Amino acid sequence: MSNPEAITAIADFAEELALRAGELIKHEREQNTLRTDYKQQSELVTHADVMADEMITGAIRERFPNHRILSEETMPDLSQAEHLDTPLWIIDPIDGTVNYAYGHPQVAISIAYAEQGRVQAGVVHAPFSGETFRATRGTGAALNGNPIKHSGATLPRDSLFATGFPYTKDSLEPLVNRLEAMIHQCRDLRRIGSAALDICWVACGRLDIYYENVSPWDFAAARLIALEAGATAGHFSEVPAGYPADLWGRDILISAPAVWETVRDILRKASGYE
């Protein structure tokens, strides 16, 4: 495992890349000529996604040629998360692509760095709001350099929760069951459109609870930020044996610590897991 100074240097590098990517995607959207396409016939992708991905991954390959990369647009091979022998970067060049294409501000660049399946550094940069969330393992979490902490929520009925929905709409019944259970037992729902920001907002107390099924690039950096802000992170179903929990995105649940177990029980029951 790298020493703390090396991890701090990696976090500095990740933040530099995230800021550069943020300027790139802001510039592209300001041109008012966004080129869009679809992957898997349903998921929106813009030319800016690919440009930012190539910029970030190219810089990582140049500085760390022996590191592996898992990125949403150019290297989305999820089996990379199963090989723990060499360091792994996990990148989402634009988390919230639909927001980005529609001119909404809830957009983020997410960059995480993992060793032996454990995320050691994470940066989530929201260029349109000028907010940068950052954490390294064991040192706390910060927003624009200032320490952050979870909300301290103690009851689900007083809690604000966030979740998301897949682009394909053929398996919605379990998700609707969970949503119905949560909306009846919590204060209210927020649908932000960026998993990375949902989780970072739990980290800084703007939300109390987040759950969803997501890919590693959506949550790897933000999950560490939430943990370092004192939130609880886990899953409401079982993580496969041998798979690093830091990178397993099915049935992820992140919340203020005092409500985590209760919300886990709500979601497990609504999912038919018990």
| Alpha carbons 193 and 191: distance in angstroms, whole number | 6
Annotated binding-site residue? 95: yes
Annotated binding-site residue? 72: yes
| Alpha carbons 109 and 103: distance in angstroms, whole number | 16
| Alpha carbons 107 and 221: distance in angstroms, whole number | 15
Annotated binding-site residue? 94: yes
Annotated binding-site residue? 180: no
Whole-Å CA distances, 246 to 41, 64, 65, 135:
29, 22, 23, 14
Token pair in block for residue 272: 């038919």
| Alpha carbons 213 and 40: distance in angstroms, whole number | 17
Annotated binding-site residue? 251: no
Q: Contact at 8 Å (CB) between 44 and 98? A: yes
Tracing tokens 């919230």 back to the chain, one arrives at 96
Annotated binding site for Mg(2+): 72, 92, 94-95, 218
Output the known binding site: 72, 92, 94-95, 218
